[in-house]
Every structure is written in C-alpha cells, then in structure tokens.
C-alpha cells in the first residue's frame, strides 16, 4: 500500500469546481491500466477497463470541503462562504491556505478567551461571520487575492504507526482504494468503468450525469465515512468504528442500497476473511444516491473506510481499514460476475 500516494492525493487542493490537481494525479495513474479515459463537460473523468461480465462502475469523488472568498475589506481581512458541510466550530481558529496568485497561509481570526466578553463568547460565529487574517498589509492582500479565490484547510499529512491524519481523507481515500486495487491486477469479472467525479460535496452534481451515459448494471461507491466511536458517544450512535474493517452501508439520509448487491458484497468479504461492518443510518449521503435514480437507474452499493473527524482539518483513518477495503474491492472486481439474485 503506497501511503505516499495517499499523502499526495490528500495534500493537493481540490475544491468543488476546481478539482484539476487531484484529477491530474488520478488520470496519470489510470493511464497505467487503459488508454480509454474520458473527461466530460462537468470535469468528471471516466476510465474504461475492458473485461468480461456485467458492466460495473466504481466511483469516488475528487473534491473536498473548503471555502470561497466572497469579500475583502479595506484592512485586508477576508470573508468566505463554505463549500460543503462544515461545522463553524471546526473552522474557528484554524489555519487555512488561500489560493490566490500564489498560495497564502492565513489564520481564521479568533478572540483570546481572556479578552472576549463572556456574554459574547457563548457560541462560535458562523463561517460567513469569521475573518481570515493573512498577516499581510492590505495592499499586498488586495494585490494577491480576489473575490472567488478558493480556500482549503492547511493541514500537513501525518502518518502514525496505525493511522493517517490529514485534510480531505473524504474522499481521497476512496480514490486511493480504487487505484491500489487496480495495481494488484485483479482478474476482472466485469466490464469496468472507474469514475472520478466532481462536486460531490455541494450536491452530488458530477454523479448525476454518469449513469445516463454508461448505463451500468451495478455502481459501487467508495467513500470515507463518519466514525463516531469516541468516549461518551452511545453505542448506537457510533456508526462505523475504526479498526473494524470497511463499512457496507444499507441506508443513509437519501439512500436505500440494493439489498441483494449489499448481501453479495458481505458474502464475498466472509469468503475471503475480510472484516466488515454493516451500518444503517439516516444521515449523510454519497454519489450512490444520484447514481441509483438517474437515467434508467442502477443497482448501487456503498463501501467506505471509517474516518474520525470527517470534514475537519484533521481527519483520521486507520491503515488497516484502508488495506482491508482495498482487498474487498479486489474481491468484488473478481467475483461480481457470480452475482445472482438471492432475495
């Protein structure tokens, strides 16, 4: 497992509508497996790797949550809007990178607690009410930054003995799992299409145009999923737990996954001794929601790596979960030809 590739994917910026740098890495690696790679007008990339069997789409999204500059005041302070679901409590006091004419590291302004009045310090301000301080003169700020520039978290990639910590693990880990699975040269039991989609974090936009064009028999979405396995969280609210293998999702806020396909994936995992977790929840969403109901519709499943602190500057995932998810994807690619309706 090439952790340095995962680091590269996580550290480059890839905000909704500006996924170019991530896409370039993915395309360069997909070229090792096929020359049939297409980019659509939205910016999605779809690679076709020919094989015998049902038509399968493996999908992961390119974009990460972040921000866009919407105002620069006379003193050089910036205001931004969020791109994707971001808790203001996570934003306040963080360091960020503003992608102007050159990248600038700034600080989300925070009043010291011993100066802030108690009555005004009860709630964290909304993202739009926060200021970003670049530590530069107003003249320099206005010469480098403009309204519409993008902003991402400043969060260097860290590898511990058991885990990785970084921004953008959602969903660079999904892209990584697909690429690593392909590197292991599985004997394909399907006609495979790999989609790397745009603008998932702002409404599953890229995924909406995939199924109508390619009309797959199945679509399996690879994601980083919420893990709340923390002290003080009730057991029934922990969802997926780190260190316990990939999540196989049956439901979320907008999705009821295909039951027969999901069961087939669990059977493959059991056959190969791959640990997995079944989750049923009514929160969150993935590209599977869009793929299930667009065009003629398709049978969808979701396989995810559990990630603590999702949509924060410091997401955390266990390397063992990533490895087991890669193994499961390899198994799916090899055995999907044997899918039969069992329910």
> Catalytic residue numbers?
200
Task: Give the whole-angstrom CA distance, residue 262 versus residue 333.
Answer: 14
Buried residues in 244-283 as b, exposed as e (16+ CB within 10 A):
bbbbbbbebeebebbeebbbbbeebbeeeebebbebebee
Length of the chain: 343
Q: Which DSSP category does 222 fall into?
A: E
What is the H or E stretch that residue 261 is in? helix 259-272
Beta bridge partners of 225: 306
Angle at CA 300, nearest 5°, toward 297 and 304? 150
Q: Helices marked H in 105-228 — which ranges?
A: 138-144, 169-183, 210-214
Nearest by Cα to 246 from 300, 303, 178, 299? 303
* Residue that is written with structure tokens 């497992």 in the block: 1
Query: Is-contact 211 294, C-beta < 8 A?
Result: yes
First-to-final CA distance of the chain:
36
Using CA atoms in the order 88, 93, 94, 97, what is the torsion angle rounded to 10 degrees? Answer: 100
Task: Give the whole-angstrom CA distance, residue 304 versus residue 245.
Answer: 9
Task: Give the whole-angstrom CA distance, residue 31 versus residue 37.
Answer: 8
Angle at CA 13, nearest 5°, toward 160 and 32? 80
Query: Is-contact 62 73, C-beta < 8 A?
Result: no
């Amino acid at each position: 497992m090439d952790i340095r590739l995962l680091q590269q994917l996580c550290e480059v910026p890839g905000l909704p509508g500006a996924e170019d740098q991530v896409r370039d890495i993915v395309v360069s690696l997909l070229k090792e497996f096929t020359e049939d790679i297409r980019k659509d007008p939205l910016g999605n990339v779809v690679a076709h790797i020919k094989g015998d069997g049902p038509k399968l789409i493996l999908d992961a999204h390119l974009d990460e949550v972040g921000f866009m500059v919407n105002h620069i005041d006379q003193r050089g302070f910036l205001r931004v809007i969020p791109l994707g679901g971001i808790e203001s409590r996570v934003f306040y006091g963080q360091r960020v990178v503003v992608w102007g004419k050159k990248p600038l590291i700034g600080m989300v302004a925070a009043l010291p607690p011993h100066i802030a009045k108690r009555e005004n310090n009860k709630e964290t301000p909304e993202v739009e009410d926060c200021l970003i301080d670049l530590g530069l003169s107003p003249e320099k700020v206005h010469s480098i930054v403009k309204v519409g520039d993008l902003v991402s978290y400043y969060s260097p990639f860290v590898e511990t003995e058991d885990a990785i910590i970084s921004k953008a693990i959602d969903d660079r880990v999904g892209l990584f799992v697909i690429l690593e699975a392909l590197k292991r040269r599985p004997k394909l039991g399907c006609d495979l299409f790999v989609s790397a989609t745009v603008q998932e974090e702002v409404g599953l936009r890229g995924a909406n145009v995939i199924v109508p064009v390619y009309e797959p028999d199945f679509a399996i979405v690879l994601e980083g999923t919420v893990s709340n396995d923390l002290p003080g969280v009730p057991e029934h609210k922990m969802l997926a737990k780190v260190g316990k293998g990939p999540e196989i999702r049956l439901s979320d806020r907008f999705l009821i996954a295909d039951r027969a396909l999901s069961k087939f994936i669990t059977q493959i995992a059991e056959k190969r001794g791959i640990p997995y977790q079944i989750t049923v929840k009514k929160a969150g969403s993935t590209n599977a929601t869009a793929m299930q109901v667009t065009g003629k519709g398709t049978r969808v499943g979701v396989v995810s790596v559990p990630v603590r602190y999702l949509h924060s500057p410091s997401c955390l995932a266990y390397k063992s979960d990533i490895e087991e998810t890669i193994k499961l994807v390899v198994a799916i690619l090899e055995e999907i030809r044997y899918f039969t309706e069992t329910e």
